[in-house]
């Protein structure tokens, strides 16, 4: 008699044990609209980390750079280099966009892996990297679409839309489709990678609570960095693509 | 990180175990619990009756599936909303844009400008260094000329000094010689005088002596 209820209970137990609160959110109501509070809180922390470290390091630049300034100069050169490679001529104005994209995603991803969010208990859901919420990744992908449209239109005017019938008008549907797949792939790639990484770590920790998850955690750090780089590089590539003259 | 993750997972585990041990009755549907309460018969008989009434058993199972923690689990699974878009999206987008403006103001633009200026300054200084190599050569030539002139001047001065010193020395030598000769002549003259005087004195004495000898030899006649 008790077999079936117990099996359900066991199922629920396994679900609980795995500790994976996938898609669990702490909701706040703002003007009748819901908002994922845990994402908002962690994104504030990420922004605070970014702004704080930048202010401390670059407040008073020295001709011979000190440690922190040296690091941020290196980061800036890295971003400039990335933008230059992808966008080419006239990359200057896009450096803040690409740079903020890279830094925000990078710090978000690493905060999910390095900061002990789980010490802070929420009534519902849990704190994690802001980028493991689809809202965040879409919120980063849509400005990218807007950015490359803006880049193309400001560079070439309405002639920008000529690219839709390049190289032949037959490709028009595919070219239009591309404008939808670009933000979609950007957002889902980042979301999927970060969520999957956190899930793998959590599940592995619940199964083998020592040593074994450590390589996966390092892999997670690596993946997080790579994802930030990919997002920023692709955003820059899209902008560069819409700015270059079509052949 | 590992510690926190493990901590959280162990917390949920204990939570689950506690719940399981605290109210196991919760797992059993109300209808069955009621039935058990009503049925005071021994276990064997109860089993038998259940076996004899398959339809009732099936109904009980169905009730169990329908009634029990299933709703809670279903609710939770339903709430596992991976793809619910809401106000978070525009909020994060807005945050991103603000962060971009802020970082541009305090990081990208100022530090980029600073680095560009520094590069320009370094490049200018390097250019200056390359240009001054001609100047350095000219300066070296100038220095060599100055050295040559100085050397010539010094040797001239040396020669002059040598000449002067020699002249002076010769003069002094000549003076010394002259003085010595004068003194010598004087001394010779003085000696001659003395000799003549001595001779004179001798002459007079000779006269006296001869007179004496004469007076002594010759008896006073």
**What number is the average pLDDT over the span A208-229?**
88
Alpha carbons A15 and A19: distance in angstroms, whole number: 7
pLDDT at position B214, please? Answer: 87
Tell which wins on pLDDT, A13 or B110: B110
What is this structure's pTM?
0.63
Per-residue pLDDT tens digits of chain B, which is 221 residues long? 344 434 444 444 444 444 444 444 444 455 555 454 454 444 544 554 444 455 555 555 555 555 444 445 555 544 567 777 888 899 999 999 999 999 999 999 999 999 999 999 999 989 888 777 788 889 999 999 999 999 999 999 999 999 999 999 999 999 999 999 999 999 999 999 999 999 988 888 888 888 888 888 887 65
| Chain A residues touching B110 at Cβ < 8 A | 58, 61
pLDDT at position B107, please? Answer: 92
> Are the beta carbons of B111 and A217 separated by less than 8 Å?
no
**Segments making up each domain of chain B, as ranges:** 2-85
Question: Touching check for B27 and chain A: CB below 8 Å?
Answer: yes
| Chain A residues touching B14 at Cβ < 8 A | none
Query: How do residues A158-216 score in pLDDT, each as one tens digit?
Result: 888 888 887 888 989 999 999 999 999 999 999 999 989 888 888 888 888 788 888 88
Name the burial class of residue A210, with classes exposed (0-12), middle (13-18) and buried (19+) by CB atoms within 10 angstroms of its CB: exposed
Cβ distance A20 to A199 under 8 Å?
yes
pLDDT at position B30, please? Answer: 53
Please name the member of A2, A61, A202 whose beta carbon is closest to the beta carbon of B9: A202
Distances (CA, A) of A168 to A160, A162, A163, A172: 15, 10, 10, 8
Cβ distance A79 to B107 under 8 Å?
no
**Segments making up each domain of chain A, as ranges:** 65-243
> Are the beta carbons of A47 and B99 separated by less than 8 Å?
yes
Instruction: Report the complex ipTM.
Output: 0.85
């Amino acid at each position: 008699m008790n077999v079936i209820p117990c099996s359900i209970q066991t199922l629920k137990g396994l679900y609980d044990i795995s500790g994976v609160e996938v898609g669990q959110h702490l909701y706040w109501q703002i003007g009748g609209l819901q908002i994922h509070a845990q994402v908002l809180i962690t994104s504030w922390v990420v922004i605070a980390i970014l702004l704080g470290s930048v202010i401390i390091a670059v407040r008073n630049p020295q001709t011979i750079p000190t440690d922190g300034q040296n690091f941020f100069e290196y980061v800036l050169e890295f971003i400039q280099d990335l933008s230059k490679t992808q966008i080419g001529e006239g990359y200057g104005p896009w450096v803040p966009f690409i740079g903020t994209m890279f830094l925000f995603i990078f710090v978000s991803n690493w905060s999910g892996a390095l900061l002990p969010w789980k010490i802070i208990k929420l009534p519902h859901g849990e704190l994690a990297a802001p980028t493991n919420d689809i809202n965040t990744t879409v919120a980063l992908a849509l400005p990218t679409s807007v950015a490359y449209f803006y880049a193309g239109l400001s560079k070439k005017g309405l002639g920008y839309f000529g690219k839709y019938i390049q190289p032949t008008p037959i490709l028009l549907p595919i070219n239009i489709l591309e404008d939808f797949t670009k933000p979609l792939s950007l957002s889902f790639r980042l979301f999927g990678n970060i969520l999957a990484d956190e899930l793998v770590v959590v599940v592995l920790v619940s199964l083998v609570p020592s040593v074994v998850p450590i390589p996966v955690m390092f892999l997670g750090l690596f993946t997080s960095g790579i994802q930030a780089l990919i997002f920023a590089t692709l955003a820059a590539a899209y902008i560069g693509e819409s700015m270059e003259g079509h052949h | 990180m590992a510690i926190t993750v493990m901590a959280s997972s162990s917390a949920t585990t204990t939570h689950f175990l506690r719940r399981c041990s605290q109210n196991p009755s919760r797992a059993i549907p109300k209808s069955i619990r009621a039935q058990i309460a009503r049925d005071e018969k021994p276990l064997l008989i109860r089993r038998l009756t259940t076996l004899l009434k398959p339809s009732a058993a099936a109904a009980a199972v169905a009730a169990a599936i329908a009634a029990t923690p299933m709703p809670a689990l279903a609710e939770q699974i339903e709430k596992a909303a991976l793809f619910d878009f809401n106000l978070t999206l525009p909020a994060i987008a807005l945050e991103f844009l603000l962060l971009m403006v802020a970082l541009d103001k305090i990081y990208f633009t100022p530090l980029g400008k600073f680095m560009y200026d520094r590069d320009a300054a370094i490049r200018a200084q390097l250019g200056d260094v390359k240009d001054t190599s001609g100047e350095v050569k000219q300066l070296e030539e100038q220095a060599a000329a100055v050295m040559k002139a100085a050397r010539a001047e010094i040797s001239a001065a040396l020669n002059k000094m040598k000449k002067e010193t020699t002249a002076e020395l010769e003069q002094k030598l000549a003076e010394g010689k002259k003085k010595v000769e004068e003194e010598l002549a004087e001394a010779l003259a003085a000696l001659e005088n003395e000799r003549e005087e001595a001779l004179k004195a001798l002459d007079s004495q000779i006269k006296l002596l001869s007179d004496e000898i004469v007076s002594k030899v010759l008896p006073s006649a």
